[in-house]
Amino acid sequence: MGELLDELLQIALMYLPAMVSNASPVFLKRGTPIDFGRNFVDGKRILGDGKTWEGFLLGMWFGITVATSLWVGTEDFRYFLYGSMGSLGALLGDMFFSFIKRRIGLPRGAPFPLGDQLDFFLGATALMVASGWRPQAFPWLVMAFVIVMLHVMTNRIAYWLGLKDVPW
């Protein structure tokens, strides 16, 4: 049982920069859209007004700051490397799913079951793994823990605090 808890703590710390990065843009209410208001070939917005350069940069700043703090606190460079890559992946994953939502005609803020929960996680995991990260064990438990316990909970808290318009 101690091994499982150690693994879950390490996983949570590895994903912490990505979660912070993903949550940070809600502090900004507006900015310059990443797609500059342009439409895709289907005539729909590429990403929409919710994905801004300012939000992206703020997310990266906060995520890298957390990753740096973990590196300094643990003296383990992997926290910086995987945390930074996870932060970038989280934001890119969120943008990718926004792109998909626009393609299927969902407006900004509309629920997208599973996509709203997996966007940051899949993007973060993809770039963390691409940069060499390999979780030790319990992959399905880790996925459930990160998605359900942390991501959903932080979205709900941000909603209750009035930082997000929707709880997903």
Q: What is the pLDDT of residues 107-166, one digit of tens each?
A: 887 888 778 778 888 899 999 999 999 876 556 566 666 666 666 777 777 788 877 777
In-domain check, residue 168: no
Residue 21 has pLDDT above 90, yes or no: yes
Average pLDDT over residues 46-58: 95
In-domain check, residue 165: no
Domains contained in the chain, number: 1
Maximum CA pair distance of the chain?
A: 54
Query: Given this model, what pLDDT does residue 144 score?
Result: 62
In-domain check, residue 20: yes
Helix (H, G, I), strand (E, B) or coil at 155: helix
In-domain check, residue 76: yes
Query: Given this model, what pLDDT does residue 140 score?
Result: 58
Name every residue whose Cβ is closer than 8 Å to that of residue 89 and which is 6 or more positions away in sequence: 18, 120, 123, 124, 125, 126, 127, 128
Phi, psi angles (nearest 5°) of residue 136: -70, -45
pLDDT band at 168 (very low <50, low <70, confident <90, very high): low
Please give the structure tokens belonging to residue 124: 């973060």
CA distance to 5, 64, 90, 95, 163, per residue, from 119 (Å): 25, 19, 7, 8, 19
Query: Given this model, what pLDDT does residue 163 score?
Result: 75
Query: Given this model, what pLDDT does residue 158 score?
Result: 75
Domain extent for 93: 2-160
In-domain check, residue 50: yes
In-domain check, residue 167: no
Query: Given this model, what pLDDT does residue 26 score?
Result: 85
Share of the chain above pLDDT 70, in %: 89
In-domain check, residue 95: yes
Give the C-alpha separation, 50 to 102, whole Å: 12
Query: Given this model, what pLDDT does residue 132 score?
Result: 95
Give the C-alpha separation, 98 to 106, whole Å: 9
Give the C-alpha separation, 82 to 16, whole Å: 10
pLDDT tens for residues 60-115?
Answer: 999 999 999 999 999 999 999 999 999 999 999 999 999 999 999 988 878 887 78
Query: Given this model, what pLDDT does residue 148 score?
Result: 62
In-domain check, residue 104: yes
In 3D, which of 87, 90, 83 has the Cα closest to residue 68? 83
